Amino acid sequence: MSIFMMVSGICILGLVANVVQFAGKGAIEQPQETTIDPEKRLKELGIALPTPPAPAANFVRAVRSGNLVFLSGHGPRKTDGSYITGKVDREVSIEQGREAARLTAVNLLASLKAEIGDLNKVQRIVKVLGMVNAGESFTEHPQVMNGFSDFIVSIFGERGKHARSAVGMASLPNGMAVEIEMVVEVKAP
């Protein structure tokens, strides 16, 4: 055995021993998030969830399958029943699109709460599909959807971080600026 192989073997063993010792001491500790109460957080922000309207066709706003709740596409419905409408970057600015996505988040939470009774039952926001009403040359769909994602994380903390798709659509129902679907994992009943 060459001296190089012996030295290499000793270095590798030493490195492994250091890694094991390092890991054994719990040196890489993740900070523990203080559990955020989403109901309390909404009150702190002065947000009252609206009563979800009945679906306009033959579908439901939410379906629970096991520990997952699938929420139908929701739009930026205002308290007067009207929607934020228009194509983003034409009739609606990117910032207004972000606000539309945030309002849609509020509406999705209202339907989620109607389905599960208490937002503290949410384990995690799993997946979000954001559809942005935009022209064919528009490419800033993620910036619009950040209005949704930033709001959800502000309400749920780490539990609110989700997988997401942000896509453009040539049109949306009623001319809405955005439509968003959401999948949520909830605690077992």
26: region left, alpha or beta (phi > 0 left; psi from -120 to 50 alpha): left
The pLDDT tens digits of the residues spanning 76-89 come to 999 999 999 999 99
Beta-carbon contacts of 92 under 8 Å, excluding residues fewer than 6 positions away, are 84, 85, 86, 100, 133, 177
Say whether both 25 and 43 belong to one domain.
Answer: no
Instruction: Encode pLDDT of 91-149 as tens digits.
Output: 999 999 999 999 999 999 999 999 999 999 999 999 999 999 999 999 999 999 999 99
Prediction pTM value: 0.82
When mean pLDDT is compared across 34-38, 121-125, 147-151, 182-186, the lowest value belongs to: 34-38
Q: Indicate whether 22 and 101 sit together in one domain.
A: no
- The answer to whether residues 1 and 77 belong to one domain is no
Count Cα neighbours of 78 within 13 Å in the Cβ-side half-sphere. 9
Domain range spanning residue 13?
1-30
Is the pLDDT higher at 26 or at 36?
Answer: 36
Q: Are residues 68 and 7 part of one domain?
A: no
Of all residues in the chain, the percent with pLDDT exceeding 70 is 82
CA distance 1 to 20: 27
51 shares a domain with 23? no
Least confident of 8-22, 111-125, 156-170: 8-22
Q: How many domains does the chain have?
A: 2
Tell me: do 51 and 137 sit in the same domain: yes
